[in-house]
Structure 1
Amino acid sequence: MRVTVLGGSGAWPTNTEACSGFLLQHEGFSLLVDAGYAVLPRLLDLMPAERLDAVYITHGHPDHCVDLNPLLRARALGGADPDPLPVYAPHRALDAVLALDRPGMLDAALQRHDFEPGADFSVGPFDLRTALLPHWVPNAAVRATAGGRSVVYTGDGGPDPALVELARGADALVAEATYPEVMAADDAPYLSTAWQAARQAVEAGVGRLVLTHLWAGSEPGRYLDAAAREYDGPTLVATGGLSFEA
């Protein structure tokens, strides 16, 4: 399974980095996991919109889903006439982004699959397990398994035993780490630090840690230093263009 980072900036994109977006590929199948601000142009660097096979959205905040709109527009209006795109997301997570256009405009481009976090299902060659993590809106962390390898992606969420259980023994954990070590009290239940992500990586026994959703414009070295205090395995920061085999 190949994982390609399309973007890893938290909250808003920068002039060089898109928000959350990850392309998982196995046996010729391409699954986009999250589609935040500026993700579509990065995807189009790799493939035309009609070649994407499916989308998984962790939650309804725009830095994780807003580029679903131009992606669907490209498929509906681009002239290639692809099959409807299967899109998996928690119930009601897509309501706002799908309401950006006039009713019915993108219906033919979309095959919507709503689910409750905690559900398990398959998408192409990927077996997906999901888990609810604490966030301001329902957020479905996901474990994708294909070819005997597993990658876990948190979306956003505060530290929770459900993540440790979901990530146990995974080959890679792509973990939201909005802050290095210290977090505002109001955010503490709903977001994670790099230090907390690393601690959960240790508890889960994962093979690799990838920190994502760093506060836009932050210095990555501070996050890597914070994570290294807990986790001594391979640790990376998710930046656009990073690609690795799980």
Structure 2
Amino acid sequence: MRLTVLGGCGAWPTASEACSGYLVEHEGFRLLVDPGYAVFPRLLRYGTAEAVDAVLVSHGHPDHCADLHPLLRARALSDAPPAPLPLHAPHGALDAVLALDRPDMLASAYRRHDFTPGDRFEVGPFTVSTRLLPHHVPNAGLRIATPDAVLVHTGDTGPGDAVPRLADSADVFLCEATYVHRVPEADAPYLLTADLAGHYAAQAGVARLLLTHLWPGTDPSLSHAAAAERFTGPLTVASPDLTLDVGTAAGGHGPRRPA
């Protein structure tokens, strides 16, 4: 399994970085996870719109799904439209972004596969196990597995025991870390810090921690240092075009089954 970071900025994109967006590839299958603001132009550096095989979305906030719209336009309005794109997201999460055009314009470009956090299903060569994690809207933590690799993505989440349970023994733990040490009181139940991300990574025994969704303008070195106080394993801050091999080929834990 290969993970490519297309963007890792929280809330809104900056001049140099898109919001959350990740390309996950295995056996020639290309899964786009959380296509947030400004992700689509980054995606085009790695292939055409038609080359995406499926989309998986953790929740309906636009910094995690807004660029699904240009992706679907590029497919629907091409000279030779490809087969409908499978869209996997929690129930209702994509309603707003899919309503940006008149209904008949994009209807043939996608097929919805709505799920309830807690469901488990197959997407191409991946087994996806989901878990409800606390956020302002229903958010599905994602455990994306092949026989020899596990990638866990929190989406956006507040603190809780469900986070390390989701991440248990993952090869790569892609964890939201919006703030460095302290979340503002109003958002404290719904977002994480880099410090907590490090704590949960250590608790879960993951092979590698990848911090993402930093608040725009945050110094990545501060987030890295805060997480490193809790987690002593390999640790990286998500940055555009970062690519990681996930699993045994990358020195991971070896064969396992999805949780």
Q: TM-score, normalized by length of structure 1?
A: 0.99
AA aligned to 1:67 is: D
* Per-residue Cα deviation, 1:16-38 (whole angstroms, up to 9, x for no partner): 10000000000000000001000
AA aligned to 2:77 is: L
For structure 2, list consecutive stretches of 5 or more residues without a partner in the other structure.
247-259
1:147 CA drift (Å): 3.8
- The equivalent of 2:96 in structure 1 is 96
In the alignment, does 2:105 pair up with 1:132?
no
SS at match of 1:196: helix
* Per-residue Cα deviation, 1:42-69 (whole angstroms, up to 9, x for no partner): 0011000001000000000000000000
AA aligned to 2:43 is: L
1:163 CA drift (Å): 1.7
* Per-residue Cα deviation, 1:151-178 (whole angstroms, up to 9, x for no partner): 0000100122112111101101000000
* Per-residue Cα deviation, 1:71-115 (whole angstroms, up to 9, x for no partner): 000000022310000000000000110110012210100010000
* Per-residue Cα deviation, 1:90-142 (whole angstroms, up to 9, x for no partner): 00000110110012210100010000001000100001000111000000010
Q: d(CA) in 1 for partners of 2:240 and 2:142?
A: 20
Kept in 2, the 8 Å contact 1:135–1:158? The answer is yes
- The equivalent of 1:237 in structure 2 is 237
Q: d(CA) in 2 for partners of 1:85 and 1:56?
A: 11
Q: d(CA) in 2 for partners of 1:105 and 1:227?
A: 45
Q: d(CA) in 2 for partners of 1:12 and 1:106?
A: 25
- The equivalent of 2:28 in structure 1 is 28
* Per-residue Cα deviation, 1:197-241 (whole angstroms, up to 9, x for no partner): 111111110000000000012110000010011000000011110
Q: d(CA) in 2 for partners of 1:166 and 1:218?
A: 26
SS at match of 2:70: helix
Q: d(CA) in 2 for partners of 1:175 and 1:71?
A: 25
- The equivalent of 2:214 in structure 1 is 214
SS at match of 1:216: coil
- The equivalent of 2:63 in structure 1 is 63
SS at match of 1:87: strand
AA aligned to 2:241 is: G
AA aligned to 1:77 is: L
Q: d(CA) in 2 for partners of 1:160 and 1:23?
A: 27
Q: d(CA) in 2 for partners of 1:160 and 1:129?
A: 18
- The equivalent of 1:5 in structure 2 is 5
Q: d(CA) in 2 for partners of 1:14 and 1:147?
A: 37
Q: d(CA) in 2 for partners of 1:66 and 1:5?
A: 17
Kept in 2, the 8 Å contact 1:9–1:216? The answer is yes
Question: In percent, how many aligned pairs have the same letter?
Answer: 58
RMSD over aligned Cα, in angstroms?
A: 0.7
Q: d(CA) in 2 for partners of 1:51 and 1:147?
A: 24
AA aligned to 1:240 is: P
Q: TM-score, normalized by length of structure 2?
A: 0.94
Kept in 2, the 8 Å contact 1:50–1:80? The answer is no
Q: d(CA) in 2 for partners of 1:203 and 1:72?
A: 39
AA aligned to 2:38 is: A
Aligned length: 246
AA aligned to 2:171 is: D
For structure 1, list consecutive stretches of 5 or more residues without a partner in the other structure.
none
Deviates more, 1:144-153 or 1:10-19: 144-153
Deviates more, 1:143-152 or 1:20-29: 143-152
